[in-house]
Amino acid sequence: MKYFKYRCAFVLALIAAIALHAQTFSVHSPDGKIALTFLLQDGKPTYSMTYATKPVILQSSMGLQLAEDINMGNGLKVVKDSATQANEDWAPVWGEEKTIHNHYNGLVVTLQTQTGRLVIMQLEFRVFNDGMGFRYMWPRQHNLNHFVVNKELTGFALAGDHKVWWIPGDFDTNEYSYLQSTISTVDATKSKGFTEIGLRVPFSESGVQTPLMMKSQDGLYINIHEAALVNYPAMQLDVDRKKLTLTSVLVPDAVGNAAYLQAPAKTPWRTILVSNKATDLLSSRTILNLNEPSVIKDPSFIKPSKFVGLWWEMHVGKSTWDYAAVQDNYTAENIGSAKPSGHHGATTQRVKQYIDFAAKHGMSGVLVEGWNIGWEDWSGKWKEDVFDFVTPYPDFDLKEVNSYAASKGVKMIMHHETSGSVTNYERNMDTAYRLMKNFGYDAVKTGYVGKIIPRGEHHDGQWMVNHYNRVARKTAQYRIMLDAHEPVRPTGLHRTYPNWLACEAARGNEFNAWSVGNPPEHETILPFTRLMGGPMDYTPGIFQIKVDYYKPGAKEQVHTTLAKQLALYVTMYSPLQMAADIPENYEQKPDAFKFIEDVAVDWDASYYLEAEPGDYLTIARKAKGKNEWYVGAITDENARMAIIDLSFLPAGKSYQATIYRDGEQAHWQSNPMQYVIETKTVKPGDVLKVKLAPGGGAAVSIK
């Protein structure tokens, strides 16, 4: 272990006045490449970070402002320091690889205020080979019990005017497309242009969200995020475009406070990943390593899986979530008086078609949205008693559907849209989960569209963070798998709650159905941003790319080729993958659908072959417990040649590769559905070169 500590004796001798208050501690990563330096200067805690001698973070502020005038960012002294370390392997319940290595050198510095109330705070640093994390902790102590965090002072002073992929800072939504600029030209007022997002609450003209992806002019890839967001608001960042520094902005609660804590307490980890190779960030497990181990003793109910669902057909307007198509308040008491519009999607009959399709094609689950009463006036009304989560529409026979699904060996997936009315969801959660278990549902997709109730709270504030985690714990108690839509973006908590398989928490494929959609580069950025925190339920697999198929004249479309939709099953890692299109569209292209049938959702190993954020990405993965490999390669709006180095294949054998690639004339806009399927015998060391169309991609299965 390399751990250095300087007491600055020499400096002390020279400049007594300053040095009395200056103490430095350094920690190096196990491979020595990354150096973290903690410096207490004039009572102020600061840190800096280098990668192979290149500056990553210049000296930056740390600390917090607590209520009752307790300043934990100034006037502090070091009362203790101690080294920590780990070098161990652990096995996730599911993941991109079967074994994860946790290797760091760490430091805990204990600080104390020197005037007023004597309060103790600890800073904990852990330095890995691909980055580091630090957090604030308050041990049990006499002078601090319950306390309120007003503000966090953590800063990130950047070493240059990096290129940055960002979305506007916003307390309630992370469904923006990514913008690319330099740090000095970040302009969050661009949030105004995103009128397709129903609820936008930007907080500053220069606010951005994490995971924030940057690239320095000297080729360092830097990612700032957080790990283990528990009992604390999300950290967003405000950019000082002149000083090139980022300052943490904690999402406030209804009365303007950031967090309510009780000692012993700790913040989430602030994480900084860095490498000179983009692919190293994709393979980083630092955020997972900074999360706590699983709390689920018997994870046998947790099953990575693929599913279909009554969902895309509502997004493209083929059917509706609601039953009556009037803005009335239907409840269990008066739903009998509702007149059906004739366009309701989730009818028993239609759901059976999805069940039949799932059974035939080996999709283990069927999601049904719009099955329950409340959808008539669910959206945008800030209505509290919106859904009851147990009463089906008259044309959806809960019992019959579930018997039918059971007879076909298919699992139904429950849908709980809250409409942001979380108080309502919380008071109905137990009842709703009991209903699920009575009908054999093992998984729930939750949703948080719209303004939050409790009114004044935000999607990303402490109250909601606690809610999402509460849902994860409660579903775990009920042995239910969880897929959360519109929550705060993930921070690796799926290690702790492996039943929490996926989140949306970013701009999903759905935007392509009814808005300007997601630009072709979108999916090349997500793995470097949103996916740093955990799997995304992106809902890939749209085969009928253009919406005018349903609505003549419609301009909306998915901004990829069909082949790229296949590639996303590999490049957008998730243990829960939807085949999002409607059965009829898949039945028309059984050869292409074969890839979705085959592709795994849990992996022994992953190989990040090539990547540049915003441009391209090629990833190969080995299916868990099988000698099967799947490769996804995608590009942005530019055509490209994917270079697939098959060195990862075990030596001494040859394999059959099936390549699903863009047709020669394919183009995301002009000709998105042209694809070619080829088979080829390959052996380790072969390098496949596959042409990707503009907005295109390729998927390869190897057996």
Residues 261-290 as x/- pattern, contact with its own copies by CB under 8 A: -x----------------------------
Least distance CB 294 / its own copies (angstroms): 18
| Bond preceding residue 30 cis, omega within 30 of 0 | no
DSSP-assigned letter for residue 252: P
Cβ nearer to its own copies, comparing 159 with 453 = 453
Q: Residue from 384, 388, 395, 598 that binds its own copies (CB under 8 A)?
A: 384
| Closest approach of its own copies to the CB of residue 457, in Å | 7
Which class for 4: exposed (0-12), middle (13-18), buried (19 or more C-beta within 10 A)? Answer: middle
10 Cβ neighbours under 8 A, 6+ residues apart? none
Would you count residue 648 as binding its own copies (CB under 8 A)?
A: no
Q: Does 382 bind its own copies (CB under 8 A)?
A: yes
Beta-ladder partners of 38 = 25, 47
Q: Which residues contact 524 (CB under 8 A, 6 or more apart)?
A: 611, 612, 613, 614, 615, 616, 617, 634, 635, 636
**Is 377 near its own copies (CB under 8 A)?**
yes
Q: Per CB under 8 A, does 383 bind its own copies?
A: yes
CB of 68 to its own copies, least distance (A): 13
Q: How far is the CB of 38 from its own copies (least distance, A)?
A: 30
Output DSSP code: residue 341: -
SS3 670: coil
Q: In whole angstroms, what is the distance from residue 226 CA to residue 236 CA?
A: 10
CB of 321 to its own copies, least distance (A): 18
Question: Using the rule CB under 8 A, which residue among 269, 307, 463, 497 binds its own copies?
Answer: 463
CB-nearer residue toward its own copies: 253 or 417: 253
593: left (phi over 0), alpha (psi -120 to 50) or beta: alpha
Subset of residues 300 to 319 that bind its own copies, contact rule: CB under 8 A: none
Minimum distance between the CB of residue 431 and its own copies, rounded to whole angstroms?
7
Nearer to its own copies, 257 or 671 (CB): 257
CB distance 523 to 572 below 8 Å? yes
Count of Cβ atoms closer than 10 Å to residue 264 Cβ: 12
For residue 478, the minimal CB distance to its own copies (Å) is: 13
Q: Which two tokens stand for residue 527?
A: 């793995």
Q: Residue 426 interacts with its own copies (CB under 8 A)?
A: yes
**429 near its own copies, judged by CB under 8 A:** yes
Tell the smallest beta-carbon distance from residue 550 to its own copies (Å). Answer: 28
Stretch (H or E) spanning 511: helix 511-514
Task: List the x/- string, 94-123, binding to its own copies by CB under 8 A.
Answer: ------------------------------
Dist CA 302 CA 494 (whole Å): 12
From candidates 427, 437, 683, 703, binder to its own copies by CB under 8 A:
427
* CB closer to its own copies, 125 vs 321: 321
Residue 322 binds its own copies, judged by CB under 8 A: no
Asked whether position 388 contacts its own copies by CB under 8 A, the answer is no
Q: Is 146 in the site for its own copies (CB under 8 A)?
A: yes
User: Is residue 84 within the footprint of its own copies (CB under 8 A)?
Assistant: no
Residues counted in the chain: 703
Contact call for residue 292 and its own copies (CB under 8 A): no
Q: What is the DSSP string of 427-481?
A: HHHHHHHHHHHHTT--EEEEE--SS-BSTT--TTSHHHHHHHHHHHHHHHHTT-E
List Cβ neighbours of 603 (8 Å cut-off, separation of 6 or more).
95, 96, 97, 98, 621, 622, 623, 624
Q: Which is nearer to its own copies, 6 or 382 (CB)?
A: 382
Question: Which parts of 464-583 are beta strand (E)?
Answer: 481-485, 500-503, 576-578
Q: Does 423 bind its own copies (CB under 8 A)?
A: yes
- The enclosing H or E element of 136 equals strand 131-138
Which of 296, 567 has the CB closer to its own copies? Answer: 296
Active site residue ranges: 510
Cβ proximity to its own copies, 75 vs 454, nearer residue = 454
Please identify, using beta-carbon distances, which residue of 119 and 208 lies nearer to its own copies: 119
Asked if residue 430 binds its own copies (CB under 8 A), the reply is yes
Q: If we measure between CA atoms, which residue out of 306, 313, 222 comes closest to residue 585?
A: 313
Q: Nearer to its own copies by C-beta: 432 or 578?
A: 432
**Can you read off the two tokens belonging to residue 690?**
């596959």
Among 3, 4, 260, 514, binds its own copies (CB under 8 A): 260
> Is 329 a binder of its own copies (CB under 8 A)?
yes
Which residues would be at the binding site for its own copies (CB under 8 A)?
A: 145-146, 253-255, 257, 260, 262, 327, 329, 377, 381-384, 423, 426-427, 429-431, 454-457, 463, 466, 470
